[in-house]
């Protein structure tokens, strides 16, 4: 770096410790950033679409994750480069907002960067490229609105929702049971949805998994499943019309908070202490009985004496239930969480039609099912599978499907999948490019080319000849003026995605294009990177 001199001719320092920093400027900086972004996109490119491959990631402590959910792959990959971290953030924001399309958004951003690199080599200024991309993304956004279709569904006719969830699940490892899982996801969302306000609270859907059984044993329970069993083996395993006391206070004699010491020097004193304790327990259990509770769910434990007394008084109890589960149980049964015994009243009890304990296989695993609740707003999806990784992946896949169903309840517009929406946008953007004078025209055309990368990747992953397939579909769209032609990934024999029932949500697609464009604009505007050099 050139030295700077003050008016007396003495050199002075501009950048502190500059020999310890590396600095990349101008076009080199942009090229380095673009290649970093593209490297991330290249990793995800192969896991796009129904024939996409899965990635296996091993964390430092030896946990193995197998997934093809874009956001999960990028979260688990330990990315070091700053620009690559932007791509990770990109897929994360798509995951938070829409929940689906996390792979596509990164592939899209990678393609835009690739096109931008070509334009930069032609000597076009990065800001002009960014502006051209911005215009093109607006054209594509509006075009998606035009080709989208509304589809009607009601609480009784859920078929369209199931079809869309099946599209989401078809790219996952669980695609052999996609019909059943899609139905479970839709029913779960409709159970907690508020159709008048068009709002869905996904926190009310609990997804539990247990290793064992097969994927087909996955079920939807209108109620709560708790991974606990009754505190005493002889307590009843099935309680009908249960009245549930939900406690967050421990079932044991009170202890002073300060340090204390009890001096006992005679047998009599010990006896009185023991009787006092027993009296305490008796009062506690009696209090629960008086209120009319037939099941106690406690956040803390209780000692064996309390357990024994509860058993004698025929009051089944469950201990060590976590806080989140307590809240869900309270929401489902309409009960109140009680922090002190003195405050127990009959109004605060939750009601459930059936509480049963179910054991699995030959193991001693038992779980509590709380069903037929007063407020059926909380549901549980209970997943079974051959191994832990399978269950984790199924949870992630179901999360995507739940998000899609939620988005459709919020906004019931759809576009067709299989790359048809992207191809249609590409044609529209290409046609619109001629209307813009100036250098932006090039950028808009490049945007149209970048949009083709998603159908290209789909064709590539499906083992078709990418360029031939894409050009054939594109010409068919133009000829028939039919924006629903896409890549026939599953080899059904028709390119019309309407016939194949491959849907995607409109807001998901729009979000993909907007987010990808924003990130690419940001990367293009960086022209100087100062980083501490690696020692």
Q: Is 418 helix (H, G, I), strand (E, B) or coil?
A: coil
User: Cα separations (Å) of 5 from 10, 12, 15, 66, 521?
Assistant: 5, 6, 14, 59, 37
Is residue 469 annotated as a catalytic residue, yes or no? no
Catalytic, out of 67, 103, 294, 469: 103
Is residue 258 annotated as a catalytic residue, yes or no? no
Our measurement of the distance from residue 518's CA atom to the centroid of its chain's CA atoms, rounded to an integer in Å, reads 22
Residues 280-294 as b or e (16 or more Cβ within 10 Å = b): bbeebbeebbebebb
Is residue 103 annotated as a catalytic residue, yes or no? yes
Q: Which residues pair with 4 in a beta bridge?
A: 12
Query: Of 266, 246, 440, 464, which Cα lies nearest the Cα of 336?
Result: 246
Catalytic, out of 69, 100, 229, 430: 69
**Contact by Cβ (8 Å): 171, 46:** no
If phi over 0 gives left and psi between -120 and 50 gives alpha, with beta otherwise, what is residue 342? alpha
Report d(CA 251, CA 255) in Å as an integer. 12
**Contact by Cβ (8 Å): 317, 231:** yes
Catalytic, out of 100, 400, 452, 488: 400
**Contact by Cβ (8 Å): 158, 191:** no
Catalytic, out of 102, 294, 333, 469: 102
Find all residues with CB under 8 Å of 248, minimum gap 6, and list them: 298, 299, 300, 326, 337, 338, 339
Residue with tokens 């539990």: 208
Residue with tokens 């874009």: 70
Report d(CA 504, CA 100) in Å as an integer. 9
CA neighbours closer than 13 Å in the CB half-sphere of residue 67: 26
Is residue 400 annotated as a catalytic residue, yes or no? yes
Give the orientation angle of helix 304-312 with respect to helix 267-291, to 10 degrees: 50
In this structure, the number of other CB atoms found within 10 A of the CB of residue 299 comes to: 18
User: Cα separations (Å) of 340 from 84, 243, 247?
Assistant: 52, 18, 8
Q: Is 167 helix (H, G, I), strand (E, B) or coil?
A: helix
Annotated catalytic sites, by residue?
69, 102-103, 400
């Amino acid at each position: 770096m050139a030295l700077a001199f003050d008016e007396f001719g003495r050199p002075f320092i501009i950048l502190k410790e500059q020999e310890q920093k590396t600095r990349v400027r101008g076009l080199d900086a942009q090229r380095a950033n673009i290649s970093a972004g593209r490297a991330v996109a290249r990793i995800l490119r192969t896991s796009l679409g129904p024939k996409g491959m899965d990635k296996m990631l091993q964390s430092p402590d030896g946990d193995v994750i197998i997934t093809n959910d874009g956001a999960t792959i990028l979260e688990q990959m330990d990315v070091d480069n700053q620009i690559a971290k932007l791509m990770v953030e990109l897929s994360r924001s798509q995951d938070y907002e829409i929940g689906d399309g996390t792979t596509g958004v990164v592939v899209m951003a990678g393609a835009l960067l690739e096109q931008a690199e070509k334009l930069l080599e032609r000597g076009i200024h990065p800001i002009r490229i960014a502006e051209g991309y911005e215009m093109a993304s607006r054209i594509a956004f509006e075009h998606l609105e035009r080709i989208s279709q509304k589809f009607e569904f009601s609480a009784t006719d859920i078929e369209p929702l199931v079809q869309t969830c099946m599209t989401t699940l078809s790219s996952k490892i669980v695609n052999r049971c996609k019909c059943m899982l899609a139905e479970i996801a839709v029913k779960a969302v409709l159970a907690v949805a508020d159709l008048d306000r068009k709002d869905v609270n996904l926190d009310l859907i609990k997804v539990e998994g247990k290793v064992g059984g097969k994927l087909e044993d996955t079920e939807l329970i209108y109620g709560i499943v708790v991974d606990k069993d009754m505190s005493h083996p002889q307590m009843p395993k099935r309680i009908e019309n249960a009245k549930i006391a939900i406690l967050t206070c421990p079932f044991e004699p009170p202890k002073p908070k300060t340090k204390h010491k009890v001096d006992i020097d005679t047998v009599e004193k010990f006896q009185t202490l023991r009787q006092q304790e027993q009296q305490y327990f008796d009062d506690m259990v009696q209090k629960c009985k008086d209120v009319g509770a037939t099941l106690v769910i406690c956040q803390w434990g209780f000692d064996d004496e309390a357990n024994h007394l509860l058993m004698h008084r025929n009051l089944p109890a469950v201990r060590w239930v976590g806080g989140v589960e307590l809240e869900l149980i309270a929401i489902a049964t309409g009960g109140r969480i009680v922090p002190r015994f003195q405050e127990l009243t009959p109004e605060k009890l939750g009601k459930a039609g059936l509480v049963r304990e179910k054991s699995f296989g030959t193991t001693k695993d038992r779980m509590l099912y709380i069903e037929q609740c007063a407020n059926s707003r909380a549901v549980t999806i209970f997943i079974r599978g051959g191994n832990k990784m399978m269950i984790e992946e199924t949870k992630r896949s179901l999360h995507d499907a739940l998000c899609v169903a939620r988005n459709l309840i919020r906004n019931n517009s759809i576009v067709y999948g299989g790359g048809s929406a992207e191809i249609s946008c590409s044609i529209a953007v290409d046609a619109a490019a001629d209307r813009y004078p100036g250098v932006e025209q090039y950028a808009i055309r490049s945007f149209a080319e970048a949009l083709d990368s998603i159908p290209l990747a789909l064709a590539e992953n499906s083992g078709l000849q990418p360029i031939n397939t894409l050009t054939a579909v594109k010409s068919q769209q133009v000829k028939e003026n039919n924006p629903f032609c896409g890549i026939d990934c599953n080899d059904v024999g028709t390119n019309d995605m309407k016939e194949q029932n491959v849907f995607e949500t409109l807001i998901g697609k729009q979000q993909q294009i907007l987010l990808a464009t924003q990130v690419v604009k940001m990367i293009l505007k960086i022209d100087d990177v100062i980083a501490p050099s690696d020692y």
